[in-house]
Structure 1
Amino acid sequence: MNHQSKGFIPGFKDFQHVTVSVSNVDRALAFYRDLLGFPVLGRLYYPNQVGLVIDFLDIGNNGILEIFSFKVPTKPTEWIPDDLQLGMRHIAFKVQNVDATAARLKAAGVEFTLEPTDATGGVRIAFFKDPDGTLLEIIQGDLKYHIPGQAPLPTPPAGGAPAGSELCYDHVTLTVSDLDKALAFYQGILGFPVLGQLNMNDDRGFVITYLQFGNSVLELFSFARPTIYHTWNPDETVLGLKHIGMLVDDVFAVADRLKSAGVRIIYPPNHALGAVDTCFFADPDGNALELINGTCTYDE
């Protein structure tokens, strides 16, 4: 953790969204809106070849879940249940009582991959899947790091979880191939301070590093063993987690700064539908990140 943070990139405001592609939007909304309790903020239609429709849901902690659905058939996810696989692993939500929330979700037929359990760091967790198999986590309690960082804990904004939901967005998780390279990028270039680390003490050399991402957290999985192929696919119709969005004042200025630092730009800055400016760029492992300068103007 020796990549000195220079502070958040100029004009950085906060985490804004995380995106998931789904095969059936009605089923996805029944899960995320009706079962998990995340209110729908609006919908945006893209006139492209795949007939992209984006639903925007309030997941608390200033965060938005973007649900991508399509008029064409989707393709199976390339995600596998092996944390050595590079890319986006899961989205996590804070709850008051993991066991009670898990019991309610299980009664509704939700598939759990990890029953409620006490975990390293002094928290209680459980893992479950959305209808398309995207992995989600619920967490109770505050982490106690093995190696504390130098950043203060994020202060949750007023309101926390959205009205009507017991879940509140906490973090998104990436597996990285090289922790030093990842920290040189996320801490050194983007300026995300390190909150701390947990040593999982397994034979893979598993270490979890936590970085402050506005009012939320970015969780990095790293290993002493080699990682395996990446989950990210530029084809939007491949199911699963797609990208992470961050709110900035000036997309064009931040993109110029990233380019000058040698960061790969996936899609250059542009004035997008929804009356916002956007730009997509990649971390050292190719994970897609988006700059956005505001909240979309929804079609409905």
Structure 2
Amino acid sequence: MNLKRIHHIAIICSDYEASKDFYVNKLGLEPIREMYREERQSYKLDLALKWEYVIELFSFAEVPDRPSYPEARGLRHLAFEVDDIEESISELKRNGIETEEIRLDPYTEKRFTFFQDPDGLPLELYEK
């Protein structure tokens, strides 16, 4: 196996417009391509971070709930690297997004915090 890198992360949302607003207008990801797939009654929005394709945002007519918190079984969270965690937290708060208290990684001694997308998906800011 010769894996090169993670190509993308796929996220299924319950409210497409709210999630699109969150990822594009609040987090600042760049839309690459948006399409509506009539046969699936599904939107698909491809998003980039610093011109690198990172997230596929999907909507479907019927989606089941999934336990979603950092300690739940399955994918734990999606982490974004930032230069200044306090500045990033302030920007999230200006956009109406609450974060947990800043934690310290005992191994790297780097600071991080968690917040949630509109569906409660755990997201992390990790200070570089």
Contiguous gaps of at least 5 residues in structure 2:
none
Deviation at 1:123, TM superposition (A): 0.4
Q: How does 1:145-224 map to 2 (within 5 A)?
A: none
Deviation at 1:82, TM superposition (A): 5.9
Give the structure with the larger helix fraction. 2
Residues 254-296 of structure 1: CA deviation (Å, up to 9, x unaligned): xxxxxxxxxxxxxxxxxxxxxxxxxxxxxxxxxxxxxxxxxxx
- The equivalent of 2:56 in structure 1 is 66
- The equivalent of 2:97 in structure 1 is 110
**Partners in 1 of 2:118 and 2:58 — Cα distance?**
14
TM-score normalised by the chain length of structure 1: 0.39
Matched residue type, 1:117: R
The answer to whether the Cα contact below 8 Å between 2:13 and 2:59 also exists between their aligned partners in 1 is yes
Q: CA RMSD in A?
A: 2.0
**Partners in 1 of 2:84 and 2:70 — Cα distance?**
27
Deviation at 1:127, TM superposition (A): 0.5
Residue aligned with 1:105, SS: helix
Residues 9-51 of structure 1: CA deviation (Å, up to 9, x unaligned): 24x4431100111111111111110111101000233343x41
TM-score normalised by the chain length of structure 2: 0.86
- The equivalent of 1:77 in structure 2 is 66
Deviation at 1:111, TM superposition (A): 2.8
**Partners in 2 of 1:60 and 1:17 — Cα distance?**
14
1:123 aligns with 2:113: no
Deviation at 1:115, TM superposition (A): 1.7
Matched residue type, 2:34: R
**Partners in 2 of 1:56 and 1:39 — Cα distance?**
8
**How many residues are treated as equivalent by the alignment?**
127
**Partners in 2 of 1:82 and 1:101 — Cα distance?**
20
Percent identity, aligned pairs only, is: 26
